[in-house]
C-alpha cells in the first residue's frame, strides 16, 4: 500500500468535457508533501513530480522547493527553492527553468540570489519576473526584474503608488505589460483586501475592485481580457470582472469554498475546491469550462496547498 500513487485521479465520466478533446495546457501546484508538480489540464492526466525530477537531474542541488509557477506561454517555470546557488541554501530564492528542465538557474541580481516574500510570476518569453518583497515604501511591495544576459536588472518598484500596505500574489498578462494582484492593509489577504492592477514599469496603478462583503483574493487574467478572482462573501466563490465596463459575473457560483483561481489559455478556470461533497475536506483542483458549464475534479483526495496555482500552455 505504501507504493500507491500520490494521486487518485477521477475517471472521466463525461467525454464531452473540454469539448471532448485533449487539452494541451498545463497546471503547476504544490502538495502537502512539500513536492512541486506539473500536470496537463485534462481528464486522466498523470502528475509529474518536479521535485523528484530535479533531485535526479541535479543531485548536487537536492533540497526543498516552496512553490512552482509557469509562464503563460508554458516555456518557462519559476520556482522558489533552496537549489542552484549557495546563497539559496536554508533561505529559498527564485530560480527559472526551461520547460524540459534541461536548464535551471538561480535568478541573480548583482551576483546575489533574489529572496521573495511569496508566490511570484514570470512572463511569456521568460525575460520578466514580478515578485513580492520588502525594502519598499509599504510593508510588502511588488518588484519587476528583467533578464540582462546571465543576470537580471535592478528591481523596479511596481506598487510605489499603492494605497495599501500589503501588495502580493501577482499574475501577469500574456503581453507581460500589466500585473494584477492582491492589495490590502492586512497580511495574508485579510480584512479589506482588494484587487489592483499596475503596469510593470510602475507608471500606472489602479484599484480594480474593492470588497463589498468580504475580502477578494488571487486574481488572474483570462484570455478574454477579463480579470478572475476569488470573492470571500458567505463562502468563497470565483467571479470575473470586465475591466472596460466593470461588469461583474459569477463563475460557477453554485459551488462555494472555491478559491485561488488561475485561467488556462482556452478559458478553462482552474481553482482549489475545498470540502467537495463526499470528499475528505481537502483543497482539490477543479477545472470549470464557463461556455459549457462543465466541471471536472482533476486532483482528488490530495491536499493542494493554498499558495497559488500556475496556468500556462
Return d(Cα 39, Cα 211) in angstroms, integer.
Answer: 33
The C-alpha atoms of residue 68 and residue 91 are separated, in whole angstroms, by: 16
Dihedrals φ, ψ of 56, to 5°?
A: -80, -40
DSSP structure class, residue 60: G
Q: Rounded to 5 degrees, what are φ and ψ at 87? A: -75, -5
Give the tens place of pLDDT for each residue, 103-140: 999 999 999 999 999 999 999 999 999 999 999 999 99
The 269-274 sheet, strands edge to edge:
258-263, 269-274, 283-289, 294-299
- pLDDT of the residue at 128: 98
Question: Would you kindly state where each structural domain of the chain is located, as residue ranges?
Answer: 26-115
**pLDDT value at residue 17:** 42
Which stretches of the chain drop beneath a pLDDT of 70?
A: 1-23, 253
pLDDT digits (tens, 9 = 90+) for 210-236: 998 889 999 999 998 999 999 998 889
DSSP letter at 146 equals E
Q: What is the pLDDT of residue 233?
A: 85
Predicted TM-score (pTM) above 0.95 = no
Please tell me the distance from the alpha carbon of residue 167 to that of residue 143, in angstroms, as a whole number. Answer: 10
d(CA 254, CA 286): 14
Amino acid at each position: 500500500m505504501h507504493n500507491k500513487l500520490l494521486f487518485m485521479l477521477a475517471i472521466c465520466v463525461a467525454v464531452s468535457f473540454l469539448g471532448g478533446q485533449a487539452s494541451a495546457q498545463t497546471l503547476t501546484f504544490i502538495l502537502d508533501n512539500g513536492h512541486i508538480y506539473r500536470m496537463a489540464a485534462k481528464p486522466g492526466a498523470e502528475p509529474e513530480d518536479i521535485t523528484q525530477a530535479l533531485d535526479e537531474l541535479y543531485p548536487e542541488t537536492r533540497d526543498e522547493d516552496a512553490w512552482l509557477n509557469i509562464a503563460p506561454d508554458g516555456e518557462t517555470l519559476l520556482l522558489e527553492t533552496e537549489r542552484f546557488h549557495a546563497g539559496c541554501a536554508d533561505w529559498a530564492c527564485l530560480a527559472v527553468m526551461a520547460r524540459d528542465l534541461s536548464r535551471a538557474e538561480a535568478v541573480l541580481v548583482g551576483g546575489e540570489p533574489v529572496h521573495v516574500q511569496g508566490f511570484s510570476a514570470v512572463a511569456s518569453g521568460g525575460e520578466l519576473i514580478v515578485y513580492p518583497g520588502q525594502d519598499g515604501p509599504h510593508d510588502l511591495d511588488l518588484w519587476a526584474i528583467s533578464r540582462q544576459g546571465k543576470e537580471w536588472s535592478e528591481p523596479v518598484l511596481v506598487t510605489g503608488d499603492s494605497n495599501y500596505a500589503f501588495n502580493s500574489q501577482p499574475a501577469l498578462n500574456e503581453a507581460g505589460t500589466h500585473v494584477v494582484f492582491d492589495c490590502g492593509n492586512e497580511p495574508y489577504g485579510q480584512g479589506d483586501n482588494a484587487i489592483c492592477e499596475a503596469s510593470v514599469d510602475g507608471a500606472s496603478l489602479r484599484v480594480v475592485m474593492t470588497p463589498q462583503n468580504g475580502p477578494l483574493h488571487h486574481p488572474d487574467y483570462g484570455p478574454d481580457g477579463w480579470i478572475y478572482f476569488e470573492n470571500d462573501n458567505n463562502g468563497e466563490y470565483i467571479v470575473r470582472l470586465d475591466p472596460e465596463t466593470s461588469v461583474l459575473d459569477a463563475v460557477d457560483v453554485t459551488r462555494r469554498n472555491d478559491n485561488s483561481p488561475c485561467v488556462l489559455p482556452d478559458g478553462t478556470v482552474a481553482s482549489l475546491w475545498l470540502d467537495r461533497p463526499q470528499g475528505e475536506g481537502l483543497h482539490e483542483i477543479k477545472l470549470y469550462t464557463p461556455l459549457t458549464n462543465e466541471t471536472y475534479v482533476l486532483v482528488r483526495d490530495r491536499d493542494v496547498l493554498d499558495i497559488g496555482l500556475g496556468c500556462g500552455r
